[in-house]
Amino acid sequence: MREKIRILILEDNAADAELAQRELEKAGLSFVASIVAAKWEFLQQLDVFDPDIILSDYKLPGFDGISAMRVAVARKPEIPFVFVTGEMGEERAIDTLKEGATDYVLKQRLARLGPAVERALAEVEEKSQRRRAEENYRTVFETTGTAMCVLGEDSVVLSANRGFERLLGYAVGEPEPEVRFKQVVSRDGPEVEDFYRYHREVLSGGGTDPVFFKTRVVHRDGRTLYVLASMGRLPGTRNSVLSLIDVTREKKFEGELKERAERLRDFLTVASHEIRHPITVIKGYTEMLEDVDIEIPEDMVADIYASMDDAANRLIRIVTELMDMSLIENDGIELDMTSCEIKELVLEAATDKRGWRADRHVEVEVLSDPGLATVDRVRFMYVLDELLDNADKYSPEGSPVSVTLEARAGIALVSVLDRGPGIPESDRERVFERFYQVEDALNHSKPGMGLGLYIVKQLLDAQGGKIWYEPRDGGGSAFRFSIPK
């Protein structure tokens, strides 16, 4: 508030104006006054003098108090307008109050003027404080990171902040239709029922303590979101305020962590089994060979050594896969890129198939020769070997395995094809993930740790290539990979 109250007095009678001022002084008000009688002066002073309050006579020559009040209310609605008049009937006075006047004081009872002015100014101050407080709350409401809304008793969203609009895609108010919160809560679980329960709890409770709960809500575009909600009663009403914090990402992350932990546990089961098996073979045979009491026929000794060799190779393979994984995860893969004839590499990989089932034959079909490409030769061969070994491992004995080679725009396309069981649709992307196996750990029927395709994918990615799976017409798998030329 300013140091001195600025009072604009609309009065044609100088003596009355004087009397009014005296009354105000008597009431102890510190003020400056501007006295005007004509319309033009009044309008001008409304801006120039910038009053805190207007006192106006009712009847003036050439300009009446009612018109002055209408102008003032229209232009400066925040300035209180008090009639000071000798001739205003009760009814007329009430009408002027309805139209926007703040008060009226009869000239015959001028002692009321001081208190009336003080009250009017106090009301203005209170209103502006309330407005400031509302603005502050509005700012808090809007700028808080959480989505907030006010719910009516019937769960209609009465008002909502921008966070709510952002979270759920509903703009509450014009030109949106009414939004009921139960429409927003997910319907494919207990959430709607839970929400009603919490809402009832909030409305029936005496205090304003909020209830906290987790729920799922559905964005207008159909996405389901996980939220932490708190709901509390607005004092003195049947409305409640609801705030929502989006924890969808955290929830997803939590799910991923859980899945990773499960996958790691399965991996440890599988890996220990994989390692124990060849060790048991080697240990069993060495004990047998060392035992002087056991006489082993000549022809069996060769078989024993071959089995021990297989077991040792299996262990080497396991260790290599583990080392490759560790390299990929920790230091990244170092490549030795050279220009190679892709056809040669494919033919070489397809011919040297020791360790495969004896009657397996790999057909190579060069559909078009891609010529040279820059690759890491060793890693490229590893990829082909791994895919061919899987084709052998997962398809029945005697069924055909083949490789096709094609030149496509800017790439060499290699496909490893088999007539095995294929891969269920839901697993087709996932088989390239670390430790992923289609069979679960308990039914582990084939050797392997779920690392082969993961390493293959990482090696190809590092060489600028891509790998994907396609089911084959007539059954079986096609693993295709491209490598830039």
Judged by the rule CB under 6 A, the positions of this chain that interact with ligand ADP are 390-391, 394, 418, 420-421, 423, 431, 436-439, 448-454, 477
Are the beta carbons of 244 and 147 closer than 8 angstroms?
yes
Q: Phi/psi class of residue 173: alpha, beta or left (left: φ > 0; alpha: ψ in -120 to 50)? A: left
Nearer to ligand ADP, 52 or 274 (CB): 274
Supply the DSSP symbol for 76. -
Question: Shortest approach of ligand ADP to residue 437 CB, angstroms?
Answer: 3
Question: Shortest approach of ligand ADP to residue 392 CB, angstroms?
Answer: 8
Are the beta carbons of 210 and 235 closer than 8 angstroms?
no
User: How large is the C-alpha radius of gyration of the chain?
Assistant: 44
The one-letter amino acid at 30: S
Nearer to ligand ADP, 349 or 453 (CB): 453
Question: Shortest approach of ligand ADP to residue 169 CB, angstroms?
Answer: 40
Question: Shortest approach of ligand ADP to residue 307 CB, angstroms?
Answer: 21
How far apart, in Å, are the Cα atoms of 262 and each of 267, 288, 425?
9, 39, 22
Quote the tokens at residue 412. 């060499």
Nearer to ligand ADP, 356 or 394 (CB): 394
Question: Shortest approach of ligand ADP to residue 207 CB, angstroms?
Answer: 58
Nearer to ligand ADP, 17 or 403 (CB): 403
Query: Residues 6 or more apart from 163 whose CB is under 8 A from it?
Result: 142, 144, 145, 146, 147, 148
Question: Shortest approach of ligand ADP to residue 485 CB, angstroms?
Answer: 26
How far is the C-alpha of 448 from the C-alpha of 266, rounded, in Å?
A: 12
> φ, ψ for residue 245 (rounded to 5)?
-115, 125
How far is the C-alpha of 3 from the C-alpha of 369, rounded, in Å?
A: 95
Give the CA-trace dihedral at 284, 285, 287, 291, to 10 degrees. Answer: 140
Question: Shortest approach of ligand ADP to residue 260 CB, angstroms?
Answer: 16
How far is the C-alpha of 177 from the C-alpha of 163, rounded, in Å?
A: 19
Largest CA distance in the chain: 142
Question: Shortest approach of ligand ADP to residue 193 CB, angstroms?
Answer: 42
Question: Shortest approach of ligand ADP to residue 282 CB, angstroms?
Answer: 21
Nearer to ligand ADP, 251 or 430 (CB): 430
Nearer to ligand ADP, 114 or 448 (CB): 448
Determine the residue with CB nearest ligand ADP.
448
As a whole number of Å, the end-to-end CA separation of the chain is 80
Nearer to ligand ADP, 181 or 267 (CB): 267
At residue 313, the 3 state secondary structure works out as: helix
How far apart, in Å, are the Cα atoms of 17 and each of 127, 133, 248?
28, 37, 70
Quote the tokens at residue 318. 């396991």
Nearer to ligand ADP, 452 or 465 (CB): 452
For residue 404, the number of C-alpha atoms closer than 13 Å in the C-beta half-sphere is: 13
Nearer to ligand ADP, 52 or 321 (CB): 321
Nearer to ligand ADP, 407 or 441 (CB): 441
Supply the DSSP symbol for 190. S
How far is the C-alpha of 85 from the C-alpha of 9, rounded, in Å?
A: 12
Give start and end residues of each alpha helix (H) in 64-151.
65-75, 90-99, 113-143
Question: Shortest approach of ligand ADP to residue 452 CB, angstroms?
Answer: 3
Question: Shortest approach of ligand ADP to residue 270 CB, angstroms?
Answer: 8
Question: Shortest approach of ligand ADP to residue 457 CB, angstroms?
Answer: 9
Are the beta carbons of 179 and 168 closer than 8 angstroms?
no
Give start and end residues of each alpha helix (H) in 144-247.
162-168, 181-184, 191-204
Nearer to ligand ADP, 31 or 436 (CB): 436
Are the beta carbons of 428 and 419 closer than 8 angstroms?
no
Are the beta carbons of 364 and 401 closer than 8 angstroms?
no
Nearer to ligand ADP, 31 or 394 (CB): 394
